[in-house]
């Protein structure tokens, strides 16, 4: 499996430091409030779990699943809701947790859909941000790393359901997915 990795972009310790930093900022910003982390499945599950452990304000978690990739390496631009939230979010402070923002189309769809449910607020937390690929003006409220246009895997992110278990974020060799 490691033979398919072009290089390690962020190691486990660097990721942990960044997650703790983001959690401190979230805890500060939501002081005196309860926040609902909305984990965007499947790629964000490890990031969400780690973030959850470091946030010091009252926090709950729910999951949502959308698809715009299928088995491809680029977004199709067509977003499908695969699994909705389990709980109502009216008057709730919602924090969408994404592994990576690429085109921004999926996130724009999610934000608009959730805002229709009248939450107290909707913010976005993304571990990775590929700003050069953005097709809209979506910007996360909390961002871990701004990355170049590389196909990344590990720390929950996959290619064809492989590589999620890697403790680091790596760049997949193009010959693997081309």
pLDDT tens by residue, 80-123: 899 999 999 999 999 999 999 998 988 999 999 999 999 999 99
- Does residue 166 sit within a domain? no
Give the structural domain span for 51. 13-147
Contacts for 93 with CB less than 8 Å, ≥ 6 apart: 30, 33, 34, 35, 36, 119, 120, 121, 123
- Does residue 64 sit within a domain? yes
Choosing from 50, 102, 129, 158, the catalytic residue is 102
β-pairing, 169-172 vs 5-10, is antiparallel
Q: Determine the pLDDT at residue 77.
A: 63
Phi-psi sector, 160: left (phi>0), alpha (psi -120 to 50), beta: left
**Position 6 pLDDT exceeds 60:** yes
Q: Determine the pLDDT at residue 72.
A: 52
- Could you tell me the CATH number of the domain that includes residue 81? 3.40.50.2020
- Does residue 58 sit within a domain? yes
pLDDT in tens, 148-171: 999 999 999 999 999 999 999 999
- Does residue 29 sit within a domain? yes
Number of domains in the chain: 1
Q: Determine the pLDDT at residue 69.
A: 55
**Position 125 pLDDT exceeds 60:** yes
- Beta carbons of 43 and 166 less than 8 angstroms apart: no
- Nearest-CA neighbor of 127 among 149, 147, 99? 99
pLDDT in tens, 28-63: 999 999 999 999 999 999 999 999 999 999 999 999
Q: What value does the mean pLDDT of the chain take?
A: 93
> What integer is the mean pLDDT of 120-132?
97
- Does residue 155 sit within a domain? no
Q: Determine the pLDDT at residue 70.
A: 52
- Does residue 83 sit within a domain? yes
Cis amide prior to 42 (ω within 30 degrees)? yes
| Exposure letters 39-54 (e unless 16+ CB within 10 A, then b) | bbbbbbbbbbebbbee
- Does residue 168 sit within a domain? no
Q: Determine the pLDDT at residue 67.
A: 81
Active site residue 102: yes
Q: Determine the pLDDT at residue 80.
A: 86
- Does residue 81 sit within a domain? yes
């Amino acid at each position: 499996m490691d033979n398919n990795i072009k290089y390690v972009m962020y190691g486990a310790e660097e990721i942990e430091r960044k997650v703790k930093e983001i959690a401190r900022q979230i805890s500060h910003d939501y002081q005196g409030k309860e926040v609902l982390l909305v984990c965007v499945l499947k790629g964000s599950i490890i990031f969400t779990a780690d973030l959850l452990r470091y946030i010091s304000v009252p926090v709950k978690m729910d999951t949502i699943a959308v698809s715009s990739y299928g088995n491809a390496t680029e977004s199709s631009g067509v977003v499908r809701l695969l699994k909705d939230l389990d709980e109502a979010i009216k008057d709730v402070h919602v924090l969408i947790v994404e592994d990576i923002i690429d085109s921004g189309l999926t996130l724009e769809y999610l934000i608009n859909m959730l805002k229709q449910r009248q939450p107290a607020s909707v913010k976005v937390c993304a571990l990775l941000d590929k700003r050069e690929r953005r097709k809209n003006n979506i910007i996360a409220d909390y961002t871990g790393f701004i990355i170049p246009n590389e196909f990344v895997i590990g720390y929950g992110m996959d290619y064809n359901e492989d590589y999620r278990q890697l403790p680091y974020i790596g760049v997949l060799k193009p010959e693997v997915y081309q």
